[in-house]
Amino acid sequence: MNIRLYNARILTMEKNREIFEGEIWIQDEKILYVGNGQDTHETCGSLPYEGILWDKEMDCGGNLLMPGFKNAHTHSAMTLMRSYADDLPLDEWLNHKIFPIEAKMTPEDIYHLSKLAVLEYLTSGITAAFDMYLTPETIADAFDHMGMRCVQAGGVNNFSQSPEMVEEMYLKLNKKSPLQSYILGFHAEYTCSRELLEKIAALAHKYKAPVFTHLAETQKEVKECVERCGMTPMGFLDSLGIFDYGGGGYHCVHMTPEDIAVMKKRGMTAVTNPGSNMKLASGIAPISEFLQAGVNVAIGTDGPASNNCLDMFREMFLVTGLAKIKEKDASAVDAMEVLKMATVNSARAMGLEDADVLAAGKLADIIMIDLMQPNMQPVHNIPKNLVYSGSKQNVAMTMIAGKILYEKGAFYTKDKPEDIYRKAEAVRNRHSL
């Protein structure tokens, strides 16, 4: 399908490229052209035919086109527990409320609940999710059915999944469809035996692949690991060779300078989840320290049971707002840096280098931001407006792989929203929540 988006402001997120007025051409799932519309001769000359017959032309009305946000950490199907077990500390919330319900969830439950999360991602301009949950195959099926891009990380622990399953999914889901991929991972140091962790390390070395996990989320987690192993979680996991080929940690709240140095050395990503960390009173991640050390920082919402919404605008504001409080410095973590975390950096963490910026040859994962809203006016500085005053109400369109899945409040997915809501409600009723 050939689509032309014109009369737009364009933020490509390419380094040192300012916002400009122009247009974007899309051919099937990829971007064909990005520019001011005055230099299209070379692009047209490279086509095997004269001119382009547009299937759709959209006047963007001066609104902003930019890369979609990449949600670099989430547990989508936890939509089931949204607002079910709030106002509890993490260990009690997890062990006494969440784990017992998860033990009863079926693959079909997770399929329908993941679809519900996808609808919310689309309204927030999120074009890819980095998911970790219980049944990878039904998660991939749900995202594929919805037309949503998903990268999954293995979630092996002492109670569910296994290193053998992680390897099977790694080999299988990376071939499933262009929208689906899979990265090695495990739940956390504190939920995995040393034997399990050594098997994950062996997989990392076998495939020369990165590994992701929950890391240093709470003080208790770090303290207990030091008591057991004589090292922080970062130090212990690195000593096993788990991160020899990179990867990353979700949360990364309680990190020592030595931990941060290891992350830099291994080329790892720190995925910050400020909404969840604040709600569960886990703490504030040392974002400024990561940036100063040259560590890649990405942003995730975490799951909808601990956040409780899947809203990248709220996360972006919290990343910079909490950093300013932590550093007692209003200039800490500039808005443009935060916008980079939510797009380019998160894409890099997820292995989506072909969806990081808007450029010819890149994947057409594009969102349109409605600037003709009170919270976006007057237009002094668009990146700062996005981070400091932007909200989901400004998402006018979400396109993934060249297909418009959400536009001006309407969903263009295979399933109707009301059918997805009804299925989710049926799951809730069956579990008596």
Domains belonging to the chain, first-starting first, are 2-67+354-411 (2.30.40.10), 69-353 (3.20.20.140)
Higher pLDDT, 71 or 42: 71
Assessment of whether the complete model's pTM goes beyond 0.95: yes
pLDDT interval class at 89 (50, 70, 90) = confident
Cβ pair 33, 10 in contact under 8 A: no
Please give, one letter per residue, the 3-state secondary structure of 299-326.
Answer: ECCCCCCCCCCCCHHHHHHHHHHHHHHH
Cβ pair 105, 134 in contact under 8 A: yes
**Average of per-residue pLDDT values in the chain:** 96
Strands (E), 138-219: 149-153, 180-188, 211-215
**The pLDDT of residue 51 is above 80:** no
Where on the phi/psi map is residue 401: left (φ > 0), alpha (ψ -120 to 50), or beta?
A: left
For residue 53, count other CB atoms closer than 10 A to its CB.
6
Query: Which region among 40-54, 140-154, 325-339 has the lowest average model confidence (pLDDT)?
Result: 40-54
Task: Average the pLDDT over 112-127 and give the result.
Answer: 98
**The pLDDT of residue 356 is above 70:** yes
**The pLDDT of residue 10 is above 80:** yes
Tell me the percentage of the chain whose pLDDT exceeds 90.
Answer: 94
**The pLDDT of residue 204 is above 90:** yes
Task: Average the pLDDT over 177-194 and give the result.
Answer: 98
pLDDT of 281 reads: 94
Cα separation, 117 vs 120, whole angstroms: 5
Q: What is the pLDDT of residues 292-332, one digit of tens each?
A: 999 999 999 999 999 999 999 999 999 999 999 999 999 99
Tell me the percentage of the chain whose pLDDT exceeds 70.
Answer: 99
Of 425, 363, 394, the closest CA to residue 151 belongs to 363
Q: What is the pLDDT of residues 156-171, one digit of tens each?
A: 999 999 999 999 999 9
Alpha carbon of residue 131 to chain centroid: 8
pLDDT interval class at 49 (50, 70, 90) = low
pLDDT of 90 reads: 81
What Rg value do the Cα atoms of the chain yield, rounded? Answer: 21
Cα separation, 312 vs 127, whole angstroms: 11
For residue 370, count other CB atoms closer than 10 A to its CB.
17
Cβ pair 9, 371 in contact under 8 A: yes
pLDDT of 272 reads: 98
Task: Average the pLDDT over 180-186 and give the result.
Answer: 98
Name residues whose C-beta falls within 8 Å of residue 276's C-beta, 6 or more positions apart in sequence: 251, 282, 301, 302, 303, 306, 307
pLDDT of 305 reads: 96
403, burial (CB in 10 Å: exposed 0-12, middle 13-18, buried 19+): middle
Cα separation, 318 vs 224, whole angstroms: 28
**The pLDDT of residue 378 is above 90:** yes
Cβ pair 64, 381 in contact under 8 A: no
Q: What is the pLDDT of residues 225-247, one digit of tens each?
A: 999 999 999 999 999 999 999 99
